[in-house]
Structure 1
Amino acid sequence: MTPPMLEADLTVAAPHARPIDDLRSALRVDGDGLSAADVAERLEIAGPNLLPEPKRTPGWLRFLSHFNDTLIYILLAAAAIKAVMGDWLDFWVIMAVAIINAVIGYVQEGQAEKALAGIRGMLSPEATVLRDGRWATVPAADLVPGDIVRLMPGDKVPADVRLVEATQLRIDEAALTGESVPSSKDPAPVAHGAGVGDRASMAFSGTIVTGGQGAGIVTGTGAATEIGKIQALVGEAGSLDTPLTIQLASFGKKLTLVILGMALAMMVIGRYLHDMPLPDLVSATIGFAVAAIPEGLPALVTITLAIGVQQMARRHAITRKLPAVEALGSVTTVCSDKTGTLTKNEMTVRTMLTPVGRYEVSGLGYDPTGEITPAGGSDLAALLAVADLCNDASLERVSAGADVDSARTLGWALVGEPTEGALKVVAMKGGSDAGGARRIGVVPFDSAHKFMATLNESPDGSRAILVKGAPDRLLDRALTQRGADGSEPLDRAFWENAVDELSGQGLRVLAAARKPTRADTVSADELIDLELLGLWGIVDPPRPEAIEAIADCHAAGIRVKMITGDHAGTAMAISREMGLVSSDDAPVLTGAELEALSQEQLKGVVQGVDVFARTSPEHKIRIVRALQSHGEVVAMTGDGVNDAPALTRADIGIAMGIKGTEATKEAAEIVLTDDNFATIRSAIAEGRRIYDNLRKSVVFLLPTNGAQSLVILVAVVFGLTLPLTPVQVLWVNMVTAITLSLALAYEPAERGIMNRPPRPTGGSIVSMRELGFILAVSVLIGGATLGVFALALARGVDLDVARTEAVAMLAFGQLAFLLNCRFLGRSSLTLDVLRGNRVIWWSAAALLVLQALYTYVPFLNDLFGSEPLDAVGWLMPIAASVGVFFAVEGLKALRREREARV
């Protein structure tokens, strides 16, 4: 009696390296497949062939988490103060700001859960399986280890499968390994330590069969598949706070301490120095807190970033998480996948070589626009005829789509395999004309012999066998070569040297041959005594715009590192061509070498290596973590499911929108709608601009609160009449928030924004030097307000009129300071301050209109305690505001002079 199966019995270590008979014995499966009873028993142990649902945080808890921020605490404290004061309208306005902020964050941030759902969607829905001696189609979820499955062209592999049969089987594993061409499969065991991309004896769940057929034994289902392991990596990778969230948290804590300290000092001074009644002192302290707390700051940050999201979308970058917008501006290292990101993922013939000459081919990808130089003779025509006729691929016109994902320019799409597409394109570039040739027979490509052959008949009735394949295999079968004067003896040394030269350039090399015949059929055994025609050098070409983008990134102090599943030689050749590395002896770290390094050892070498080849998902995460350990802000790009864990772990995950998998898009913070690395360069520049504008907005906003709180503080400390009432403080906050605060979000980029190094991470969004500047401006505006208030009282006007002038001074002083803030690093005493941002003037006009309403509309007079002003009442605030503008310019000049000396 067969003993019951245990969970350990279904786990087979390194199935790619085990002989088939050994694997059958370990999984207790025979030639008839599993029985129904076996399946039921194993399904009970292994569970369904589905990726497990992640542990989900309840929605209400995720929503509340967006209130866990020091600035939001300040906002809620302001609302609580308003409630204590009985100002319920103000209370609900402030609460609405906090709730809207949380809703935006809740909607924007789906991240890991959606990433896992995207990966689960990659699994095959059905599978063809042998059970009880019969083939049947069953749901892929019902597969168990030990099942025998069959694979056909177009199938999505339903589980991890150890192949037992493979006839010309080729599988597209780009989403898993990053390789740009389908992998040929062979049932023979491979080395125990082979990486995923080198396991030719395996077919992996979620990959696509592009040609041939095969069968194999299921060795892993659900979480035990390679995709399942990637899902676990996504869940474990963890995400990091962006530099902005770190800086805002630090700034909020410091601001809270400053406000509480000043309020306490004010209470002590008012109580013990001026013996103020406790109720009046508490009221004044609450008014001070309302003035000092920048309740509009969280909304300002959120709205500024949201405006940045819209502007980045126009540059083909869709942002899924608001803080990622500015985090791009602090990126120090971009880790990029090669295939489809730096390159077009469209194989292209770049060089052709015959015994007569060498031919260079222009043009990229599957667009047949291009030229072959120099013009060739019969040798080139024969080579192009093989490219055209010994080929199963075809090209079709593609129309521009209506939606974002399919919106491509009118072009060409490949039907077939990438390598054959490259040959079809070069034949079209060379004007090759089949001339009515008819295919009679074919020897399909097989990984065992590594060539393809067709028997073709010309219109004149002559027949020839045309062959393309691996150069070494065709050299072994060739007797002659096509020379300038016709057929001549084969010069094997010439061809071997040529293959070495092309391979050294990172090109994939294929050879072409032909053989006249009168036969009606063709077989592999007949392919001897061939005439070798020439070689094709094929490459997945770099995107031209990506070369320029890499140069711009280097100028901006940003390192670009290639992390690819492709071979080291190809990766290095592409990296040299793109200017990613500058020398031929630049180091390349392969996955096998990386595997031998501890994490500490990797930290020691990671900054000196710009090319990583034959990497796995685990390696990508290790590389990202090693870079982050040096304080690097890492952006990771990718399009395959193998990139999803590293995108989740990186500071900024950037996914390709057209060729990227859903898993990758959902794991990323940024999705590029044009799959163009150059868009990353533009997005980084946009991120720097947005951060500059955000910092300008914060520096602009704080003196409003500083000046208001300073006015109240001085009045309490010196026992003066309060120049502002709490409701007037609210008016100034409101009117500047809805008019001026957002104007700086539309500022154009500063000069040389991509010629400066990335900003350092950590610290506060406002430096100590800027904080001193803010305090000085607060003193200027606050002092001017106290001066205007005192002069108004000295003229003998009513208290309400004097307070109305003080409010006007605060509003106009803030408008003057807005112009100062347009150029924090240079002088605003230039005509440039009057142009480049029309929103500034719309905001200024809105402020003037609102201030006029505040002053002259009776309803607002009653609500806010304001009074109409005469001409002198307007002249004083306006003149003082102009003085504030020039005084702040003086402060900026002193700052620039001091910084120049440092």
Structure 2
Amino acid sequence: MQGKPPDWQDFVGIVVLLIINSTISFIEENNAGNAAAALMAGLAPKTKVLRDRKWGEQDAAILVPGDLISVKLGDIIPADARLLEGDPLKIDQSALTGESLPVTKHPGDEVFSDWTCKQGEIEAVVIATGVHTFFDKAAHLVDSTNQVGHFQKVLTAIGNFCICSIALGMLIEIVVMYPIQHRKYREGIDNLLVLLIGGIPIAMPAVLSVTMAIGSHRLSQQGAITKRMTAIEEMAGMDVLCSDKTGTLTLNKLTVDKNLIEVCILKVIIITVWSSQKIWKKDMVVLLAARASRVENQDAIDASIVGMVGDPKEARAGITEVHFLPFNPVDKRTAITYIDSAGNWHRSSKGAPEQITDLCDLKGDVRKRSHEIIDNFAERGLRSLGVARQTVPEKIKESTGGPWEFVGLLPLFDPPKHDNAETIRRALDLGVNAKMITGDQLAIGKETGHELIEKADGFAGVFPKHKYEIVKKLQERKHICGMTGDGVNDAPALKKADIGIAVADATDAARSESDIVLTEPGLSVIVSIVLTSRAIFQRMKNYTIYAVLITIRIVMGFMLISIIWKFYFSPFMFWIIAILNDRTIMTISKNRVKPSPVPDSWKLKEIFAAGVVLGSYLALMTVVFFWLASDTNFFTAATSIAVYANWEFARIQGIGWGWAGVIWIFSIVTYFPLDVLKFVILYALSGKAWDTMIQNKTAFTTKKDYGKGEREAQWALAQRTLHVLQSSESQDLFNDKNSYRELSEIADQAKRRAEVARLRELQTLKGHVESVVKLKGLNIETIQQHYTV
């Protein structure tokens, strides 16, 4: 206003409120960050280290130069180290160089922190830790490009929509206030500032960040640690879950039935041995398999095999270990080279039966018989483990040795978890299609699947690269795909999936590539976090709708009031409204919501449509109420302020309890249509409304069972098609509304015939025999009918 001094009250008030808003936002985001940091501390890497002459698992952070560590398949190198005596390692150094192909490292070579062991097992001595590691010094070499995630794109789209709405409202105000109404410059600037201050959703990043942080903390209580916050929204939209079988669908507690062990005699035939003399040969198969197993730092297979021997020391009794070949995803077997008490050199190997039979070069009937036994085990849900041996006459570790001799096959049983069937049913009810991906044989996968669910779905006999391709193909079909895994061979698929989930006891490599790490075993945890993620996502979506709604309400409502009544708004007054509004909406992060029964995702059309319609309605109600109460000169943010506040500098006057009651009544009355509008918007956007109103016409009739005749006619047509009775004129019947009665009679007759046929089949011997014959695919005419009716 021309000639007046600056409004220092507005200036000081705005600065103070800005400081308060920034402080509260900082505290909330700091608490959210601390909660996230506490969760990530649970994922601190661990390593096998030799302390006090004992191997134990310790936090990688306590390593010091000179420590002796053990590195095996799937481990992430915890510090810079030098390899000691042993076989070469295959190392993935993409974390530092970006090179995707593994590199071979020999004893004496240096390996650096954050590299991943892809193959082999060896001991190493630590040479540098912490900030002194090569990775820390060369951090600028690491690919650190930040990709804009889907969540950020959604926030940008909503922000742009709000800014465009504000810009449009300000443009209309400028055109009307100055050229048409000839308002004073200062007054017009204040009104424009009100739209700018009130319309921008300043608190949106803080609210959504706090919502996800609190949600992450809740997920951790359910057994899932979130490494990437935005994985929560992707988890809410997941519609396909690819699950590993071992350890996820099964207990990963392997047992061996000694009575089912198959022994190979002289490489000629494979027989099941029953005599007490040949029971000893079964013990030899177990002993040779135990020798080819680790007695320390075991996996599930090694633990089950060595456990059958009784005392683990017996696996190495009377022999001297020369060399041990650890398991790797390529060879799929382990092997040991040892010297017996007589000084002779031998090798023993156990592993995937296909690899062992190829190693022994089995041919003819022996190979055919071995495959029959493997298939027989698989049909019973048993995995097979082949065992072989050879002599090493050269007595050299690197020599190829003599021909391999196939010793036998061990059946491994890994029972499914007791709650998996119910868990998968719940996942299907939630719209998540669970697919089993296993490297086991198809028959094993089928048997496991049938124990879990009637119609199993998945892939069997896959290699690590196939898992990656399966996830890729599902994503190309517009699915939001989750992937569970535990090994280094799962790492590529975990990284490719929209949501990579490392199961409990996963390797470091699998954890590093995942978005969510489970601390409890089984699929039930995943179903729980799906529901929680959908609830968190629902809170975020509710807030985004509210942000759009409040922008439309402020821009449209106050623009109309400013233009029609030439009302002057104090910026300080609007700062009070904005701050109180943002602080109260922070509670949405803990709001009680109902999770969506189907996969949910960001639907910008729905958000914008709901925000615009609801915001326009509230803006209209604001204008109507202002028109009704314009003579009282009131504007308020709370009842107490409205009753008692008399602030001249902010142009606020108390209105008394009478008008405060009117405000409450008006607010309550105008609240109820909001739910009706929400329902109309969501129902219209779903597409079901048009089917109901236009096609089925049920919205325009009060008749009971309207459309029943048409539905029965459709069923009759399906029955005629099934029995090859449909004529060319059948389709025309549906175009003639007068024929509904005829078609309804056809439907009734077909139903009666079907019921008579069902009773005849169930209650007569002839019907039962004919039913069995048809089920077996036989010709009824060629069978002598010797039954009595």
TM-score (norm 2): 0.58
Per-residue CA distance 1:194-243 (angstroms, 9 max, x = gap)? xxxxxxx855469xxxxxxxxx96497537998378999x9669775443
Aligned partner of 1:733 among 571, 574, 578: 578
Once the 2 structures are TM-superposed, how far is the Cα of residue 282 of structure 1 from its aligned partner?
1.0
Query: What percentage of aligned pairs have identical amino acids?
Result: 18
Aligned partner of 2:629 among 786, 792, 807: 792
**Distance in structure 2 (CA, Å) of the matches to 1:472 and 1:284:** 79
Query: Aligned residue for 1:803?
Result: 635
Per-residue CA distance 1:373-420 (angstroms, 9 max, x = gap)? xxx998999899889999979xxxxxxxxxxxxxxxxxxx99756445
Alignment of 1:132-531 (within 5 A): 156-157=70-71, 173=73, 203-204=89-90, 218=107, 222=111, 227=116, 241-349=148-256, 352-353=259-260, 418-419=300-301, 421-423=303-305, 442=318, 497-502=372-377, 505=381, 507-509=383-385
> 1:92 is aligned with what amino acid?
I
- Tell me if 1:707 matches 2:553: yes
SS in 2 for 1:291: helix
SS in 1 for 2:202: coil
Once the 2 structures are TM-superposed, how far is the Cα of residue 329 of structure 1 from its aligned partner?
0.8
Question: CA distance change for structure 1 residues 853 and 442 in 2, over 3 Å: closer, same or farther?
Answer: farther
* Residue ranges of structure 2 left out of the alignment (5+ in a row): 1-8, 52-62, 77-85, 93-104, 120-134, 263-273, 326-333, 342-347, 358-365, 389-405, 691-789
SS in 1 for 2:656: coil
Question: CA distance change for structure 1 residues 415 and 777 in 2, over 3 Å: closer, same or farther?
Answer: closer
Query: Aligned residue for 1:668?
Result: 514
Query: Aligned residue for 1:767?
Result: 604
Alignment of 1:530-549 (within 5 A): 536-546=410-420, 548-549=422-423
Question: CA distance change for structure 1 residues 306 and 784 in 2, over 3 Å: closer, same or farther?
Answer: same
Question: CA distance change for structure 1 residues 634 and 621 in 2, over 3 Å: closer, same or farther?
Answer: same
Per-residue CA distance 1:872-902 (angstroms, 9 max, x = gap)? 4313432343233235425624652674234
Once the 2 structures are TM-superposed, how far is the Cα of residue 352 of structure 1 from its aligned partner?
4.2
Aligned partner of 1:615 among 457, 461, 464: 464
**Distance in structure 2 (CA, Å) of the matches to 1:773 and 1:225:** 47
Query: Aligned residue for 2:658?
Result: 871
Question: CA distance change for structure 1 residues 381 and 351 in 2, over 3 Å: closer, same or farther?
Answer: closer
Query: Aligned residue for 1:637?
Result: 484
- Tell me if 1:573 matches 2:455: no
Question: CA distance change for structure 1 residues 585 and 453 in 2, over 3 Å: closer, same or farther?
Answer: farther
**Distance in structure 2 (CA, Å) of the matches to 1:864 and 1:350:** 88
> 1:783 is aligned with what amino acid?
L
CA contact (8 A) 1:244 1:327 kept: no
**Distance in structure 1 (CA, Å) of the matches to 2:144 and 2:196:** 42
Once the 2 structures are TM-superposed, how far is the Cα of residue 283 of structure 1 from its aligned partner?
0.9
**Distance in structure 2 (CA, Å) of the matches to 1:425 and 1:229:** 28
Per-residue CA distance 1:663-705 (angstroms, 9 max, x = gap)? 5445433221114333222222222221122212222344334
Once the 2 structures are TM-superposed, how far is the Cα of residue 281 of structure 1 from its aligned partner?
0.8
Query: Aligned residue for 1:742?
Result: 587
**Distance in structure 2 (CA, Å) of the matches to 1:379 and 1:104:** 71
**Distance in structure 2 (CA, Å) of the matches to 1:266 and 1:474:** 82
Aligned partner of 1:892 among 665, 668, 679: 679
SS in 1 for 2:183: coil
**Distance in structure 1 (CA, Å) of the matches to 2:43 and 2:678:** 53
> 1:777 is aligned with what amino acid?
L
CA contact (8 A) 1:336 1:563 kept: yes
SS in 1 for 2:412: strand
CA contact (8 A) 1:338 1:562 kept: yes
Query: Aligned residue for 2:19?
Result: 92
**Distance in structure 1 (CA, Å) of the matches to 2:370 and 2:460:** 30
SS in 1 for 2:116: helix
SS in 1 for 2:567: coil
SS in 2 for 1:322: coil
Per-residue CA distance 1:173-212 (angstroms, 9 max, x = gap)? 3659xxxxxxxxxx9xxxxxxxxxxxxx855469xxxxxx
Q: Which moved more, 1:268-277 or 1:671-680?
A: 671-680
Question: CA distance change for structure 1 residues 726 and 379 in 2, over 3 Å: closer, same or farther?
Answer: farther
CA contact (8 A) 1:263 1:285 kept: yes
- Tell me if 1:653 matches 2:503: no
> 2:610 is aligned with what amino acid?
F
Aligned partner of 1:716 among 530, 544, 562: 562
**Distance in structure 2 (CA, Å) of the matches to 1:440 and 1:738:** 69
SS in 1 for 2:550: helix
> 2:411 is aligned with what amino acid?
G
CA contact (8 A) 1:644 1:663 kept: yes
Q: Which moved more, 1:338-347 or 1:220-229?
A: 220-229
Q: Which moved more, 1:637-646 or 1:319-328?
A: 637-646
CA contact (8 A) 1:352 1:536 kept: no
Query: Aligned residue for 1:679?
Result: 525
Question: CA distance change for structure 1 residues 443 and 558 in 2, over 3 Å: closer, same or farther?
Answer: same
Query: Aligned residue for 1:811?
Result: none
Per-residue CA distance 1:574-632 (angstroms, 9 max, x = gap)? 4762469999999xxxxxxxxxxxxxxxxxxxxxx84573326xx76666555545544
Per-residue CA distance 1:336-391 (angstroms, 9 max, x = gap)? 45554444443333684279xxxxxxxxxxxxxxxxxxxx9989998998899999
CA contact (8 A) 2:216 2:229 kept: yes
* Residue ranges of structure 1 left out of the alignment (5+ in a row): 1-81, 126-138, 143-153, 158-171, 177-186, 188-200, 207-215, 356-375, 394-412, 429-433, 456-466, 476-490, 513-529, 587-608, 760-764, 808-850
**Distance in structure 1 (CA, Å) of the matches to 2:354 and 2:171:** 85
**Distance in structure 2 (CA, Å) of the matches to 1:473 and 1:803:** 81
**Distance in structure 2 (CA, Å) of the matches to 1:496 and 1:769:** 57
Alignment of 1:103-114 (within 5 A): none
Question: CA distance change for structure 1 residues 725 and 626 in 2, over 3 Å: closer, same or farther?
Answer: same
CA contact (8 A) 1:647 1:668 kept: yes
Question: CA distance change for structure 1 residues 235 and 108 in 2, over 3 Å: closer, same or farther?
Answer: farther
**Distance in structure 1 (CA, Å) of the matches to 2:437 and 2:518:** 19
Aligned partner of 1:688 among 518, 521, 534: 534
Aligned length: 582
Per-residue CA distance 1:122-180 (angstroms, 9 max, x = gap)? 8999xxxxxxxxxxxxx9999xxxxxxxxxxx9735xxxxxxxxxxxxxx63659xxxx
Query: Aligned residue for 1:782?
Result: 619
Once the 2 structures are TM-superposed, how far is the Cα of residue 285 of structure 1 from its aligned partner?
0.4
Question: CA distance change for structure 1 residues 102 and 891 in 2, over 3 Å: closer, same or farther?
Answer: closer
> 1:538 is aligned with what amino acid?
L
**Distance in structure 2 (CA, Å) of the matches to 1:575 and 1:240:** 40
CA contact (8 A) 1:506 1:570 kept: no
> 2:16 is aligned with what amino acid?
L
**Distance in structure 1 (CA, Å) of the matches to 2:305 and 2:239:** 40
**Distance in structure 2 (CA, Å) of the matches to 1:440 and 1:91:** 73
> 1:710 is aligned with what amino acid?
M
**Distance in structure 1 (CA, Å) of the matches to 2:356 and 2:203:** 74
**Distance in structure 1 (CA, Å) of the matches to 2:316 and 2:558:** 96
**Distance in structure 1 (CA, Å) of the matches to 2:235 and 2:355:** 49
